[in-house]
Structure 1
Amino acid sequence: MKVIVLGAGIVGVTSAYQLAKSGHEVIVVDRQPGPALETSFANAGEVSFGYCSPWAAPGIPTKAMKWLFMQHAPLILRPKVDTAMLSWLAKMLSNCTSKRYAINKSRMLRLADYSRVSLAALRVETSIAYDERMQGTLQLFRTQQQLDASGKDVNALAADGIPYEVLDRDGCIRVEPALKHVCEKIVGGLLTPKDETGDCFKFANGLAKKAEVLGVRFSWGTEIKGLDIENGRVRGVVTNRERLSADAVVVALGSYSPLLLKRYGLKLPVYPVKGYSLTIPITDASRAPESTVMDETYKIAITRLGDRIRVGGMAEISGYNNDLGQARRRTLEHSVMDLFPGGDANKATFWSGLRPMTPDGTPVIGPTKIAGLFLNAGHGTLGWTMSSGSARVIADLVTGRKPDIDVTDLAIARYA
């Protein structure tokens, strides 16, 4: 079949690669001049198969109210007259129950664990180097209350058979030796040892080259004007350059997916939640992290990427904008320098990206009511984590094969 993939972020590139491996003729369309130049460009770098939770959780509404008044708040809400924002917020709040949290986390872990296996196979298959490390994620607790509250995550990990270890202060220092310099600031942590780290941008570019070897064609700098739909079936894509015919189309446009789909009666509840990152050169390796440390207080990930520290996090709900607020930079600097002052923050690169968030945390992967039109979007903060597994799933569905995992609750039909 001829398949068009819309979007060349990490999700689009991995989808194209797996579709080509399945024997399809693939074209990738993207407005940027190369792969992974938007949300995938400078993300936190964590590949969090175990540290994988929906943002909609019990207690979040109360915490959110407190965060609004914090100097270094993990959540920033800039309300506006935007029906999409208000609808998304209402849906997210409806998922902040213990029952919904358990359901949503379980299916996220199912997909993430499948992606762990898929990425491992892809790494062997392609030999791409991307500053990868396989040393886990340490969720770091500064207070006893945070440590006690991690019980719900421990239960979910245990229920799904995901390895974990609850650590005291000494255990945290064993995993991340640089914490010995700030041991008085922590009480314990939750280690998910199967998690990984790596530069998403490097990986996506390496995989794009491998995809080209398989015959994938990339149409760079191309604006998508719309879909060509006839008698309830997608027939191709209209761009600013040409009309491309196809037997199937995969929409992997991240936060921009719903803007395209709403013209065709598809209401995809994905909204952009802006995140920020700093990339800091390491000057003292003994004061730098070994893998990923998730600072639970500020919801910020601090990750080792070769000779750099990538600091990423925060959630700003403010629509489609990539403004770089200096207050957000100060929060990132505060978190990393408070724990790992082993880099030169004055030489840091500051960046922001729009994470495509669903109200329940799970991406939308699967067919739509329009024949031949498939979605692979809404991965939120976990696009890098879930990309390999999501690509395998979408390639199977487009090809007509049964995926290796249950995907009945991943498609857009769950929002009907």
Structure 2
Amino acid sequence: MKHIAVIGAGITGITTAYALLNRGFAVTVFDRNRYAAMETSFANGGQLSASNAEVWTQWSTIFKGLKWMTQRGAPLLVNPKPSWHKYSWMAEFMSNIPNYRANTIETVRLAIKAREHLKAHAAREGFDFDCEQRGILHVYNCKPDFDHATKVNALLAEGGLERHAVTVDEMRQIEPALQGDLYGGYYTESDFTGDIHAYAKGLGEACKRHGAQFHYGSEVETLTNRDSGVDIGWTTAMGNESDHFDGVVICAGVRSRALAAQVGDRVNIYPVKGYSITVNMTDDASRDAAPWVSLLDDKAKIVTSRLGPDRFRVAGTAEFNGFNRDIRNDRVEPLVKWVENLFPDVSTEHAVPWAGLRPMMPNMMPRVGAGKAGGVFYNTGHGHLGWTLSAATAELVADEVAATFGQTQSIRVAAE
């Protein structure tokens, strides 16, 4: 039995470990945190949203970034401090604008594939992740934004997604709590939401039951390719350790770029910070006033999800500021104000802020598959769609690992 290491216990690492176990591999997972899903997979927007598959590689993104550069609470904020990686990444981002259409369609297709895997894993292993299958409602308050959404809808349809326009009256029927001055919307009934952290923990426990070994609190420092596989060196509170594996799948989020460089690959990930607040609703008035249907406010770049009766997750914004993980009040405040303006009866007294670094490639597509060196593979760089795409890309990379090693054992976990 071949032994594969997975670096990273976020949503991509956990789904990858599960897919490898399904193909009969021995699996060891490394993560520098004490628990699974403690970084980018801790408190994201919660949406499993094929309807949000439109990639950002458009000139409009560039123009908005320039316009908002001096607005500290802007949906997209770029720290102008010079950085070769940041500005070279942005140049490569602009070079991918001609691929906008093709990459949007491919992202939709991946997202649709991922849905069924995510649901099937949870059903098979019997864990709960506050899943709400109520669809996602995109809201627009002006005609130009709605007209752009209509153009995007043609690409989503080409990728296989059914999303339809709704009037303001229909929007309020779909989500009675919705308020504000609205022009129109688009509704995707097949999209859903859930708690990414709970999901990763639940699937991680399933991986343990099926034989995976987990090294938490273990920071992978070195990767050395050998003819017979890969040597991995890591540090723990007890000191340095190392071991040899037949292969490795790098699912290390924003650290993937540095690890890839050690084995001769260029994986040009930039850390794009996103923020969220989790509104803990301790009173009946707030619980009654908060929406159950997931919303996406395209202009504000804000998404929501209802995580059970007592939690309301609101997330958004993108910040190009390197590896800075600071939670800035001027970035959190727009999320709080958005809730207070649209849902005034929801108390934000117990809103818990969070920030995480999205691992983003300049073409807005995940890096999935084999590297240059034998035994090295990647499932990383999913940007703001890691939760949405992870289960599909995990299957793709696991298939490639199995083909490389000639693994013929049938699906083991599913058969148990």
Give TM-score scaled by structure 1 length. 0.92
Alignment of 1:334-413 (within 5 A): 334-400=337-403
- Distance between the aligned counterparts of 2:122 and 2:9, measured in 1? 19
Unmatched 5+ stretches in structure 2: 406-416
- Distance between the aligned counterparts of 2:311 and 2:297, measured in 1? 18
Whether the 8 Å contact between 1:288 and 1:341 is mirrored in structure 2 is no
1:129 aligns to what?
128
Whether the 8 Å contact between 2:65 and 2:76 is mirrored in structure 1 is yes
Q: Alpha-carbon deviation of 1:342?
A: 4.2
1:294 aligns to what?
296
Whether the 8 Å contact between 2:273 and 2:321 is mirrored in structure 1 is yes
Give the secondary structure class of the aligned counterpart of 1:161.
coil
Higher mean displacement: 117-126 or 160-169 = 117-126
Give the secondary structure class of the aligned counterpart of 1:8.
coil
Is 1:199 aligned to residue 195 of structure 2? Answer: yes
2:233 aligns to what?
238
Amino acid at match of 2:295: V
Q: Alpha-carbon deviation of 1:68?
A: 2.6
- Distance between the aligned counterparts of 1:69 and 1:38, measured in 2? 28
- Distance between the aligned counterparts of 2:64 and 2:21, measured in 1? 45
Whether the 8 Å contact between 1:130 and 1:200 is mirrored in structure 2 is yes
- CA separation of 1:264 and 1:219: change in aligned 2, threshold 3 A: same
Give the secondary structure class of the aligned counterpart of 1:235.
strand
Whether the 8 Å contact between 1:26 and 1:216 is mirrored in structure 2 is yes
- Distance between the aligned counterparts of 2:157 and 2:296, measured in 1? 20
How far does the alpha carbon of each residue in 1:61-98 deviate from its partner, in whole angstroms, 9 at most, with x for none?
A: 2222223344641101003332211111111122234x
- Distance between the aligned counterparts of 1:31 and 1:72, measured in 2? 31
Amino acid at match of 2:387: W
1:265 aligns to what?
264
Q: Alpha-carbon deviation of 1:146?
A: 0.7
Give the secondary structure class of the aligned counterpart of 2:50.
coil
Amino acid at match of 2:277: L
How far does the alpha carbon of each residue in 1:359-410 deviate from its partner, in whole angstroms, 9 at most, with x for none?
A: 12110100011111000000011111111111111111111189xxxxxxxx
Unmatched 5+ stretches in structure 1: 403-416
Is 1:9 aligned to residue 10 of structure 2? Answer: yes
How far does the alpha carbon of each residue in 1:83-124 deviate from its partner, in whole angstroms, 9 at most, with x for none?
A: 211111111122234xx2111101111211110121122122
Higher mean displacement: 87-96 or 127-136 = 87-96
Whether the 8 Å contact between 1:227 and 1:234 is mirrored in structure 2 is no
- Distance between the aligned counterparts of 1:271 and 1:364, measured in 2? 13
Give the secondary structure class of the aligned counterpart of 1:346.
coil
Whether the 8 Å contact between 2:368 and 2:378 is mirrored in structure 1 is yes
Amino acid at match of 1:263: Q
Whether the 8 Å contact between 1:29 and 1:222 is mirrored in structure 2 is yes
Q: Alpha-carbon deviation of 1:333?
A: 0.8
Higher mean displacement: 165-174 or 26-35 = 165-174
- Distance between the aligned counterparts of 1:77 and 1:204, measured in 2? 31
How far does the alpha carbon of each residue in 1:153-190 deviate from its partner, in whole angstroms, 9 at most, with x for none?
A: 111112122111111111211111101xx24x111111
Higher mean displacement: 248-257 or 261-270 = 261-270
1:43 aligns to what?
44
Alignment of 1:5-404 (within 5 A): 5-70=6-71, 72-97=73-98, 100-179=99-178, 182-183=179-180, 185-231=181-227, 234-240=229-235, 241-282=240-281, 283=283, 284-306=286-308, 307-400=310-403
- Distance between the aligned counterparts of 2:113 and 2:59, measured in 1? 26
Q: Alpha-carbon deviation of 1:266?
A: 1.3
- CA separation of 1:250 and 1:159: change in aligned 2, threshold 3 A: same
- Distance between the aligned counterparts of 1:7 and 1:368, measured in 2? 17
Whether the 8 Å contact between 2:166 and 2:184 is mirrored in structure 1 is yes
Q: Alpha-carbon deviation of 1:292?
A: 1.4
- Distance between the aligned counterparts of 1:249 and 1:172, measured in 2? 47
- Distance between the aligned counterparts of 2:36 and 2:293, measured in 1? 25
Give the secondary structure class of the aligned counterpart of 2:32.
coil
- CA separation of 1:18 and 1:342: change in aligned 2, threshold 3 A: farther
Whether the 8 Å contact between 2:65 and 2:78 is mirrored in structure 1 is no
Q: Alpha-carbon deviation of 1:49?
A: 2.0
Whether the 8 Å contact between 2:109 and 2:160 is mirrored in structure 1 is no
1:405 aligns to what?
none
Give the secondary structure class of the aligned counterpart of 2:319.
strand
Higher mean displacement: 15-24 or 269-278 = 15-24
- Distance between the aligned counterparts of 2:36 and 2:319, measured in 1? 25
Whether the 8 Å contact between 2:223 and 2:262 is mirrored in structure 1 is no
Amino acid at match of 1:236: D
Amino acid at match of 1:394: V
Amino acid at match of 1:102: R
How far does the alpha carbon of each residue in 1:271-294 deviate from its partner, in whole angstroms, 9 at most, with x for none?
A: 000000100023423321112111
- Distance between the aligned counterparts of 1:111 and 1:222, measured in 2? 31
Give the secondary structure class of the aligned counterpart of 1:135.
coil
Give TM-score scaled by structure 2 length. 0.92
Give the secondary structure class of the aligned counterpart of 2:34.
coil
Q: Alpha-carbon deviation of 1:264?
A: 3.0
Let me know the Cα RMSD of the aligned residues: 1.6
Amino acid at match of 2:288: S
Whether the 8 Å contact between 1:366 and 1:375 is mirrored in structure 2 is yes
Amino acid at match of 2:292: E
How far does the alpha carbon of each residue in 1:285-306 deviate from its partner, in whole angstroms, 9 at most, with x for none?
A: 3321112111112101121111
Higher mean displacement: 282-291 or 46-55 = 282-291
Give the secondary structure class of the aligned counterpart of 1:177.
coil
Amino acid at match of 2:202: G
2:411 aligns to what?
none
- Distance between the aligned counterparts of 1:367 and 1:289, measured in 2? 43
1:409 aligns to what?
none
- Distance between the aligned counterparts of 2:138 and 2:70, measured in 1? 24
